Amino acid sequence: MSGAVLVPAGAAGGAPRWLRSLGLALGLLIVGLVAFAAVFGPSLVPHDPFAQDLGNRLAVPVWMEGGSWTHPLGTDQLGRDYLARLVYGARISMVIGLATVIASGLIGTTLGVLGGFFGGRVDDAVLFVITCRLSIPVVLVALAVVGLMGSSFTLVILVLGLLLWDRFAVVARSTTMQVRNLDYVAAAWCAGASRAAILWREVLPNIATHLAVVATLEMALAILLEAALSFLGLGVPPPLPSWGLMIAEAKDYMFFSPWVIMIPGIALFVLVFGINLLGDGLRDMLGTQDAR
């Protein structure tokens, strides 16, 4: 049908094995650190991310002149501890990323597997739904929905989950098509297995690795999109310290104290970079060069 839409780019890099595993290790390290910060950070940092201290606004980080260890990353425009907000923000990013991937993964995988397994009319319908979804401008629709229904944490997850399933569907569909024609599926048919059993026991486990690679890509995308929505004021509502929202709130001060947007921005970049590294490493390791 629409070949151009359904063939996103790429093949694996030609890097030697040790370098690839270095990327994977670095990705694991970054994601692990952020996950640790997300789970334990808020209880390890002595400050409350919501406590304002108007007498101590925009205190500079410790490495700049006049900085102190009381607030290692300084404070924001309301005197809230930046480190406390940053680690709390890690929790928001991780939860939104994981929840979105679970929701979109369920939708996309179901559609893709059905289309790829049954083929024919079912597949035509699935392809049509994917084409429709791709023609919808994601950021605009997400902004519009949140703008209409009022910003909330759950709504952001719901909207992103309902929008970001396309790549899951595309990959699940094409990999299911390949698996469907393999010998062990034929063997299962001959052994008298039901359709459901074949889907559940033969197809799904064999496309799972491809889906895991997609999951990393979509998680990275969801985290970036949440930050963009929050930055535009239509994502996670204040005073929650989403990294995108922190950048938006700090924007007015960025020309005088650039570190206020550097800190949450670098955190966002590093996390997304780490997740992508993890995905790339995973793909190389599994040899699933067509998964993207």
- Interaction site with other proteins (CB under 8 A): 1-5, 7-11, 13-16, 19, 128, 131-132, 134-141, 143-145, 147-149, 220, 224, 227-228, 231-234, 244, 247, 251, 254-255, 258, 261, 265, 268-270, 272-273, 276-277, 280
C-beta closer to other proteins: residue 92 or 198: 92
Least gap, CB of 47 to other proteins (angstroms): 24
Least gap, CB of 137 to other proteins (angstroms): 3
Least gap, CB of 46 to other proteins (angstroms): 28
| Token output for 286 | 């599994």
In sequence order, what are the residues at sequence separation of 6 or more whose Cβ sits closer than 8 angstroms to the Cβ of residue 51?
Answer: 80, 81
The sign of the torsion formed by the CA atoms of 168, 173, 177, 182 equals positive
Instruction: Tell me the one-letter amino acid at 118.
Output: F
Q: Measure CA 270 to chain center.
A: 13
Q: What angle do CA 292, 118, 124 make, to 5 degrees?
A: 70
Rounded to whole angstroms, the Cα distance separating 20 from 183 reads 32
| Token output for 214 | 């997609």
- Specify whether the CB–CB gap between 286 and 213 falls below 8 A: yes
C-beta closer to other proteins: residue 199 or 229: 229
- Specify whether the CB–CB gap between 197 and 215 falls below 8 A: no
Least gap, CB of 8 to other proteins (angstroms): 6
C-beta closer to other proteins: residue 7 or 39: 7
Least gap, CB of 202 to other proteins (angstroms): 27
Least gap, CB of 36 to other proteins (angstroms): 20
C-beta closer to other proteins: residue 59 or 143: 143
C-beta closer to other proteins: residue 113 or 234: 234
What's the residue count for the chain? Answer: 292
C-beta closer to other proteins: residue 35 or 134: 134
